[in-house]
Amino acid sequence: MAKNLVVGAGISGAVLASLIAEKLNEKVLLIDRRDVVGGNAYDYRDKKTGITVHKYGPHIFHTNNKEVWNYLSKYTKWHYFFLKPNAMIEGNICNIPFTLTTLYQVFSRNMAEKLEEKLIKTYGYGKKVPILQLKEQNDDDLKFLSDYIYENMFVNYTTKQWGLKPEEIDPSVTARVPVYVSHDTRYFQDKYQGIPQNGYTKMIENMLDHPNIKVKLNTDYKDVKDSFDRVFYSGAIDEYFDYKYGELPYRSLKFDIQTIDKEYYQNSVVTNYPNNYDFTRITEHKYFLDEKSDKTIISVEYPEAFEVGKNERYYPISNQKTQELYEKYKNDADKIKGLYFIGRLGGYKYYNMDLAVEKILEFFNKEINK
């Protein structure tokens, strides 16, 4: 019988199962209630077009952590990829995040040159300035720019994404929306960026291909009757405790995946629609791995409230009230020997994939591999 139970076959659970199996030479049972591994990073190859589809939204791996990059590189070769998304602003397609290049796409040349000079003089070239910090400027031109970006690229998108007014959203969320004082149009500037050549699902399957790991899908934690020395739970912490203190709120997403009878639908992998329609963005999947087809596949992304049993948890709604509720569950969890909560849902915190892997590597070395 396995000594270790890992609940959830997303990236956190898969990395931890692999480490225990390989480094400790211990048996691991890994379960997931879905019928596939990969969690929200799950992707599949469409049989008719040959296009790899990110079922639960676009995933671009990026990190500055060489240890994380090298660890995942044991299980995949990489398609090197830089995300350069667009946004539809006043009927025009322009780069996001807002950069010096974007100035010239939305304003006249004279105005763009004037604003560029002021941004560089005020902040320095290469700096990232959170939109709310830019709004604090007294300079009339920079105040105009901040109001323009806020109204056209931020406020409506954020309202759709979170279902809240901007002032109701935690500052850590708004800080993620910078103005980049640079002509670098990449969304991320990390040293290592890419997408697994054969997809995220295959990378995770390779990770789990170990004689010490047994994977059981279509399996809920409550259906497992065996006892284990250690349980690593990457599901929702409030669900584990049957919501005894109430539900932790999340935002969810709905994807309308469409096959389009044309070679390309848009000129970038992702186009945001801050001010039009009820959806936030459209993803065109063939760009991820530069796949060729006379057809294309897009996902139209609609944010929505999370409801238990109806859709998936994506983004924790972080504020003082929800953090206090999470701490109640964490205090209960800390009292149970051999039970560990991991990952986004276990820690009620949004992690990019690189940070999810980094956290598991740290956790394993500090808590498990003693």
How is domain 4-78+195-247+316-368 classified at the architecture level of CATH? 3-Layer(aba) Sandwich (3.40)
Our measurement of the distance from residue 296's CA atom to the centroid of its chain's CA atoms, rounded to an integer in Å, reads 23
Amino acid identity of 249? P
Q: Is the peptide bond before 211 cis (omega within 30 degrees of 0)?
A: no
> What local confidence, expressed as pLDDT, does residue 132 receive?
80
> What local confidence, expressed as pLDDT, does residue 292 receive?
96
> What local confidence, expressed as pLDDT, does residue 170 receive?
66
pLDDT tens profile 330-367:
999 999 999 999 999 999 998 999 999 999 999 999 99
Q: Which of 180, 193, 158 is nearest to 61 (CA)?
A: 193
Domain residue extents for the chain: 4-78+195-247+316-368, 86-180, 251-305
> What integer is the mean pLDDT of 271-287?
96
pLDDT tens profile 20-35:
999 999 999 999 999 9
pLDDT bin (cut points 50, 70, 90) of residue 153 is confident
Phi and psi at residue 286, in whole multiples of 5°? Answer: -65, -20
Q: Mean pLDDT of all residues in the chain?
A: 93
pLDDT tens profile 105-117:
999 999 999 999 9
Q: CB-hemisphere CA count at 13 Å for 134?
A: 29
